[in-house]
Structure 1
């Protein structure tokens, strides 16, 4: 019986593409070739291409998401999404694959679009009883001034693009004079901006996935940034300490795991997601920051660390994600 054919999509149309390529390298190198035939598909502003192991490119037929290799047409049994940012994390690709009836390894189009919007994510989480920080949602040229923001929120605050990830365009503001520049920086990345009150506590992040019908929480990671917060440099260039598994009391770990599994269910997640929390010790509760529906899989990323801490190989993990996509 021949292996099923899996398209591993990478690239994208945002600044996060550079991370997508690193994630794809890790995934590709850990696909079980005894079970799956994996084809690397680069979704790029200049076109969609299959990249052969030798580096040759051939264009993807978007009518049915097929490729032609050595004169033979290849269609895919499932898609493994390793594309951060748009169009792989915001629901656009998911809707396209739904139209073609091709299974994929990420959340569906509705969940992806919702969780890509940080403000809508925390609003739904709060409605479900999950703790979140107080925040304001701003739109470009809506006339909201820095003074109006400070009337509603207490410093320090985080200012971040409302859509997207990898901490691009994000700032921590500790004084009123810093806010206008932080807003300008975030609006340079996105038309919408989230301003969120700072929650003091331990930064914990946890991968969650479903396998054989069971929601599984991976061992969590505590992040201790050498910078003011877990920014792009801290995430991808080594300016942070990441402790996996996190050294936390079991009571704290249970609360974070419970909140993570609840969020996974509330948002109807599929595949692997990573959920970021701040554990506020005076209240004794985890505050959810955001849900990453296509979390990084590069050598420096958190989910691969957590998978190994659970005692699984990445080969086993990616096979479990692909198998779940068929369910």
Structure 2
């Protein structure tokens, strides 16, 4: 399907309009290596299109560049929280300094990083998400698992890339799963394990509206789509579009609704499970600064509608330039 059927041509033709672009990557979160890989790819793509882009590793280095007057806008490809770029902290800083940046604003970034609060918003709007329990320090994890029903997922509420995630099938394994998740900042989340297909839907905006791209169905060689399957293994299959007909239309609809409900803007990715027995969809989380590595899913979905990697990076950067009122 050519891009012209879904997306207008890029608004900006002259790369000089963007000025000096800091591609922000790396940082100190658990997803540092993925971010560096993503950042290198984005930097190469922007430079190939004539953009005056340069790499910046982490927020302190970015602050120094801004102080020097060397930054006109930021392409944020930091992943994670607490030293990463997805929890609203970076966005608040850039808002205060008046520096345009890619991706969601303070509200969307902070809310989407908190999986528990995101679920609360979705449920208030009738959007489907797996049963869950918040696990504060000292919580009775065995009682929580009984209430939800094994098997369950135990994970940090504010991490991505499958960091700190465990699948728990037996009551005896709960303590070790909690111990692993507790190594990371923030609250813990226990969630109903949905057995079925894992899918993801990219969302791309044009400065005015947002569209859901074709879904991607992920088929790992192993039992599940963990960190190794996401970023290292070469045998994971990606089917795009992941579904057909009414099912594909429905997953795009609920993914876009979930993205907007969380206050997200610009671009991102919504992860979804489809129950194998019932075909029902369950929303998992929104990624507001998705990976842009060779294994990443947003570029795969964009390619399906005729948008190559360089154009995708350009379109994301375009979102930092205000649309003139008609």
Instruction: Report the TM-score, using the length of structure 2 for normalisation.
Output: 0.88
Provide the C-alpha distance between the structure 2 equivalents of 1:226 and 1:234, rounded to a whole number of angstroms. 8
User: 1:239: Cα distance to partner?
Assistant: 6.6
Superposed, which structure 2 residues align to 1:131-210 within 5 Å? 131-140=128-137, 143-210=138-205
Offset at residue 131 of structure 1 (A): 0.4
The one of 38, 53, 78 equivalent to 1:23 is: 38
| In structure 1, C-alpha distance between the alignment counterparts of 2:47 and 2:56, rounded to whole Å | 18
Unaligned runs of 5+ in 2: 1-13
Structure 1 residues 81-129: Cα deviation after superposition (integer angstroms, max 9, x where no partner):
0000123011110000000111111101111111101111111111111
2:125 alignment partner, one of 89, 104, 128: 128
Whether 1:314 aligns to 2:292 is: no
Provide the rounded CA distance (Å) in 2 between the counterparts of 1:318 and 1:191.
Answer: 31
Say which SS state the counterpart of residue 268 (structure 1) adopts: coil
Q: Deviations over 1:223-275 (max 9, x none)?
A: 12233321111111117623231342211100100011111221221222110
Q: Which residue of 2 aligns with 1:52?
A: none
Q: Give the SS at the match of 1:279.
A: strand
Q: Could you tell me which of 85, 89, 100 is aligned with 1:88?
A: 85
Distance, in Å, in 2 between the alignment partners of 1:162 and 1:285 is: 23
SS at structure 2 position matched to 1:296: coil
C-alpha deviation, 1:222, in angstroms: 0.6
Q: Match for residue 213 of structure 1?
A: 208
Aligned to 1:256: 251
* Aligned pairs (5 A) from 1:82-121: 82-86=77-81, 87-121=84-118
Q: Aligned pair in 2 of structure 1 residues 96, 171: CA closer, same or farther (>3 Å)? A: same
Distance 2:228 2:45 in 1: 26
Task: Give how far 1:169 is off.
Answer: 0.9
What is the DSSP-based 3-state SS (H/G/I as helix, E as strand, rest coil) of the residue aligned with 1:48?
helix
Q: Contact (CA 8 Å) 1:12, 1:85: kept in 2 or not?
A: no
**In proportion to residue count, which structure has more helix?**
2
Q: Secondary structure at the match of 2:236?
A: strand
Q: What is the DSSP-based 3-state SS (H/G/I as helix, E as strand, rest coil) of the residue aligned with 2:159?
A: coil
- The partner residue of 1:38 within 53, 57, 67 is 53
Q: List structure 1 segments (4+ residues) > 4 angstroms apart after TM superposition.
A: 32-35
Q: Is the 1:157–1:172 Cα contact (8 Å) retained in structure 2?
A: yes
**In structure 2, what is the Cα distance between the partners aligned to 1:292 and 1:242?**
21
Superposed CA RMSD: 1.9
Instruction: Decide which structure has greater strand share.
Output: 1
Partner Cα separation in structure 2 for residue 123 and residue 311 of structure 1: 36
SS for the counterpart of 1:230 is: coil
Alpha-carbon separation, structure 2, partners of 1:114 and 1:294: 13
Give distance in 1, aligned partners of 2:54 and 2:242.
39
> Contact (CA 8 Å) 1:207, 1:218: kept in 2 or not?
yes
